[in-house]
Amino acid sequence: MIDTIDQHLQKYGLRHFAKVDDYTDWLESKLSADQIQEMHDSVFRLAREPNPENIRAIYDLIAGAQYGPRVLSHHTDVIKQSGLHVDTLLRGRREVLDVGCATGYLTTWYAISSPHGHVTGVDFSSKAIDFARAQAQRLGIANVQFHSLDITQAVPDGRFDAIVGAQCFEFLPDLDEVAGELVAHLKKDGILVSVTHSPHDLDIAESFQTAGLRVSPIRYFDARDLGETTSDQRQLLLLVSDN
Ligand SMILES: C[S@@+](CC[C@H](N)C(=O)[O-])C[C@H]1O[C@@H](n2cnc3c(N)ncnc32)[C@H](O)[C@@H]1O
């Protein structure tokens, strides 16, 4: 019997909370006041200065069992809806690259959903990748592999039927250059899927369009983190290769 996405995400410690208060009570029962402060400090540091160092620091911090489930459970619904929507676009596509995969909770979901495909997840947090590898092995998922790499420096070898960047491309300092490299690794008729929100959507679409992809009509999805609709509605950009 295959897990539902809820069951799958639970295996990575993600819990669903219908109300902010429930999440806060749970957080306070799991972490000390100092630990919650450390978590908030790194989130605020990132918000103030979203440079690669601060991004990597927070994803290293939340790669561990201590903080990961606590931070991610704030966003369980966005992650779930994103995974379900992207997954429908990946069906039947054999070689998939997931850029900025963090600890691989969705990368492995795509691999389970497409047992005849093969999914490669990359992230520049080496701690996230160590966790992703160990967890995929624990779950017995063989059609997935993970690489620790900075996508602004290298793209994994090979050509892909689909490349996914869920809430990742907006963090990259020079997306035009990365977009060119990623498009060079897309097969003919390959697709690039970006999950993002305003105001990043137009910049991301423009970079990939300049790199040679055609933008399909943007799809929107609603997610209710902690029971509240996110103010910045999530968007799924589908860009298609005309190579
Ligand atoms: C907001 S998380 C998104 C995780 C996951 N894709 C999701 O949808 O939940 C962004 C991820 O992108 C990764 N990332 C940011 N810049 C990167 C880069 N230059 N190269 C590789 N990964 C990067 C971060 O380490 C982080 O794990």
- Per DSSP, the residues of 68-95 read HHHHHGGGHHHHHHHHHHHHHHHTT--E
Pocket of ligand 1 contains residue 107 by CB under 6 Å: no
Which token pair is 2? 């295959």
Ligand 1 center from residue 49 Cα (angstroms) = 16
At residue 234 the predicted structure's pLDDT band, cuts being 50, 70 and 90, is confident
Q: Per-residue pLDDT for 183 more than 90?
A: yes
* Nearest-5° Cα angle at 208, 169 to 232: 45
Is 2 a domain residue?
A: no
Say whether both 110 and 209 belong to one domain: yes
Say whether both 185 and 209 belong to one domain: yes
Omega into 199 within 30° of 0, i.e. cis? yes
* Nearest-5° Cα angle at 107, 102 to 111: 160
CA-proximal residue: ligand 1, atom 11 (nearest): 100
pLDDT at 223: 83
At residue 46 the predicted structure's pLDDT band, cuts being 50, 70 and 90, is confident
Residues 6+ apart with CB under 8 A from 17: 23, 26, 73, 76, 226, 227
Say whether both 97 and 189 belong to one domain: yes
From 51, 61, 79, 124, give the residue whose CB has the most ligand 1 atoms within 8 Å, as the site to mutate. 124
pLDDT tens, residue by residue, 3-37: 999 999 999 999 999 899 999 999 999 989 998 89
> How many domains, the chain?
2
Pocket of ligand 1 contains residue 168 by CB under 6 Å: yes
Domain that holds residue 93: 76-241
Pocket of ligand 1 contains residue 172 by CB under 6 Å: yes
Write down which residue in 74, 107, 141 finishes a domain: 74
CA-proximal residue: ligand 1, atom 1 (nearest): 167
CA dist list (Å): 138 to 11, 39, 135: 10, 27, 5
* Nearest-5° Cα angle at 224, 223 to 227: 175
pLDDT at 242: 66
Say whether both 64 and 104 belong to one domain: no
pLDDT at 231: 57
Contact (CB, 8 A) for 119 and 149: no
d(CA 144, CA 141): 7
Say whether both 115 and 183 belong to one domain: yes
pLDDT tens, residue by residue, 103-136: 999 999 999 999 999 999 999 999 999 999 999 9
Pairing assessment for the beta strands 186-197 and 234-241 based on DSSP bridges? antiparallel
